[in-house]
Amino acid sequence: MDDETDILDLASQSLGLLGYTVTTFARAAEALTAFEHNPSGVDLVITDQSMPGLSGTALAQRLRQERPELPIIVSSGYSDAIPLDLVQSLGRIRLLPKPYSMGELAESIRLALCEGQGEAHGATNTGG
CA distances (Å), origin 6, targets 1, 25, 53, 66, 128: 12, 12, 20, 30, 23
Tell me the one-letter amino acid at 109: I
* CATH number of the domain to which 48 belongs: 3.40.50.2300
Which residues span the domain enclosing 33? 5-116
DSSP assignment of 47-105 equals: EESS-SSS-HHHHHHHHHHH-TT--EEEEES-TTSS-HHHHHHT-SEEEEESS--HHHH
Could you tell me if residue 106 is inside a domain?
A: yes
Which pLDDT value is given to residue 127?
A: 42
Which pLDDT value is given to residue 118?
A: 59
Q: How many domains does the chain have?
A: 1
Mean pLDDT by 10 residues, the chain (128 residues): 92 93 94 95 94 90 93 84 69 86 93 73 39
